[in-house]
Amino acid sequence: MVEMDAPRPHPAPGTDAGVGSADPTPVMVRKLTRRFGDFTAVDAVTFEVRQGEIFGFLGPNGAGKTTTIKMLTGLLAPSSGDGLVAGLDIRRERRAIKQRIGYMSQRFSLYGDLTVRENIDLFSGLYGVTGDRLQERRDWILSMSDLERAQDRPTEELPLGWKQRLALGCAMVHEPPILFLDEPTSGVDPVARRRFWDLINGMAAEGTTVFVSTHYMEEAEYCNRLALLNRGKLIALDTPGQLRKHMVEPILEVHTDNAPQAVEALSHVDGVLEVAMFGRHLHVTVADAGTGESTVRDTLASAGRKVDAVQAVEPSLEDVFVSLVRAGGGAVVG
């Protein structure tokens, strides 16, 4: 596993780790495992999340991201292993954990037949936010989500980006120290996604610890550190910049007249480890820098494809992601 920062010793589960205070490691897990019958969805995962950081969970479908988040948020009991969230044991204090965190799933968890204001009041009641504090938090959510003029509008009528910000506000109504986001921007347009991340960055700057799973590479760049899961195992853990430095295979950017057909031509060619569309061009991972360019040019020429340029480039986070998943046995199919 690629990892620059070895986990520090864990407090014993159930001990006071400073709930609600500036706990330097508000999320800590050790050999966390979840099995469903004979299938192991999460396999002996160990990591920690630091106070005030944006910690990204990255992985292909079926990697175990959502199952891990469900265990950390008290929605699912581990099969083995242990951990602490906000100083609470993820095995024995699952109900208490739900009151100490904010959680937003990719489905937003809102009630479409309720108005904006009614959703806010409902979640406030669930978290025990009442009186003057309720008014303060309601005003904050409406302002943050730009919904002051739409507070009496049914939530189901809202554009997706507004629903997203409302769901974020409802998850934060009780001002929890830790926020869990499970692919929160799935299906949201790029402008709304950028706006959402501005909000997340602001919360983290004020000390909120943010744990977010995503499959968008540009979002992964916003994270302080990234954990990469594949087939239930943690295969990399580091900053985006350091993860890029760990990739040793050369990357060639190829400009050609027909990128999709070029991908097909280069697939399964000796010396080509990976080929994928990257914008309007290709990123081709090759086994050897010296022979890689000639292999690419000769293969595409034989396929009748024009090559305008081939140049070595620094790996993108997407290149690193694909390389690590391939080295980890490939993504789960089906």
CB of 235 within 8 A of CB of 204? no
Counting residues of the chain whose pLDDT is more than 90, the rounded percentage is: 72
In three-state form (DSSP H/G/I as H, E/B as E, the rest C), the secondary structure along the chain is CEECCCCCCCCCCCCCCCCCCCCCCCEEEEEEEEEECCEEEEEEEEEEECCCCEEEEECCCCCCHHHHHHHHCCCCCCCEEEEEECCEECCCCHHHHHHHEEEECCCCCCCCCCEHHHHHHHHHHHCCCCHHHHHHHHHHHHHHCCCHHHCCCEHHHCCHHHHHHHHHHHHCCCCCCEEEEECCCCCCCHHHHHHHHHHHHHHHHCCCEEEEEECCHHHHCCCCEEEEEECCEEEEEECHHHHHHCCCCCEEEEEECCHHHHHHHHCCCCCEEEEEEECCEEEEEECCHHHHHHHHHHHHHHCCCCEEEEEEECCCHHHHHHHHHHHCCCCCCC
Res 10 pLDDT > 50: no
Q: Any residues with CB less than 8 A from the CB of 303 and at least 6 apart, and which?
A: 261, 262, 265
Residue with tokens 């830790």: 178
Task: Examine the domain organization and report whether 76 and 112 are in the same domain.
Answer: yes
CB of 300 within 8 A of CB of 256? yes
Residue type, 134: L
Res 47 pLDDT > 50: yes
Task: Examine the domain organization and report whether 94 and 212 are in the same domain.
Answer: yes
Q: Any residues with CB less than 8 A from the CB of 188 and at least 6 apart, and which?
A: 160, 161, 164, 196
Closest to 322 (Cα-Cα) out of 186, 226, 230, 222: 230
Counting residues of the chain whose pLDDT is more than 70, the rounded percentage is: 91
Q: Mean pLDDT across the stretch 8-17?
A: 36
- Please state the domain count of the chain: 2
**Within a domain: 254:** yes
Task: Examine the domain organization and report whether 182 and 218 are in the same domain.
Answer: yes
Q: Which of 208, 239, 270 is the last residue of a domain?
A: 239
What are the tens digits of pLDDT across the range 16-44? 333 344 578 899 999 999 999 999 999 99
User: What pLDDT is attached to residue 189?
Assistant: 82
Q: Which of 197, 222, 239 is the last residue of a domain?
A: 239
Task: Examine the domain organization and report whether 208 and 266 are in the same domain.
Answer: no
User: What pLDDT is attached to residue 31?
Assistant: 97
CATH number at residue 309: 3.30.70.100
* Per-residue pLDDT band at 214 (split at 50, 70, 90): confident
* Per-residue pLDDT band at 90 (split at 50, 70, 90): very high
User: What pLDDT is attached to residue 282?
Assistant: 95
Res 49 pLDDT > 60: yes
Task: Examine the domain organization and report whether 166 and 87 are in the same domain.
Answer: yes
* Of 183-197, 208-222, 253-267, the least confident: 183-197
Res 270 pLDDT > 50: yes
Task: Examine the domain organization and report whether 227 and 252 are in the same domain.
Answer: no
Res 2 pLDDT > 60: no
Res 215 pLDDT > 90: no
The per-residue pLDDT of the chain, averaged, comes to: 89
Q: For the whole model, what pTM was predicted?
A: 0.83
User: What pLDDT is attached to residue 328?
Assistant: 67
Residue with tokens 């050369």: 250
User: What pLDDT is attached to residue 184?
Assistant: 86
**Within a domain: 178:** yes
Task: Examine the domain organization and report whether 121 and 227 are in the same domain.
Answer: yes
**Within a domain: 84:** yes
User: What pLDDT is attached to residue 193?
Assistant: 86
Task: Examine the domain organization and report whether 69 and 151 are in the same domain.
Answer: yes
* Per-residue pLDDT band at 333 (split at 50, 70, 90): low
What are the tens digits of pLDDT across the range 112-166? 999 999 999 999 999 999 999 999 999 999 999 999 999 999 999 999 889 999 9
In terms of residue numbers, what domain contains 137?
2-239
**Within a domain: 325:** no
**Within a domain: 29:** yes
**Within a domain: 334:** no
Task: Examine the domain organization and report whether 106 and 27 are in the same domain.
Answer: yes
**Within a domain: 113:** yes
What are the tens digits of pLDDT across the range 67-81? 999 999 999 999 999
Task: Examine the domain organization and report whether 279 and 134 are in the same domain.
Answer: no
Task: Examine the domain organization and report whether 286 and 205 are in the same domain.
Answer: no
User: What pLDDT is attached to residue 57?
Assistant: 92
Task: Examine the domain organization and report whether 181 and 260 are in the same domain.
Answer: no
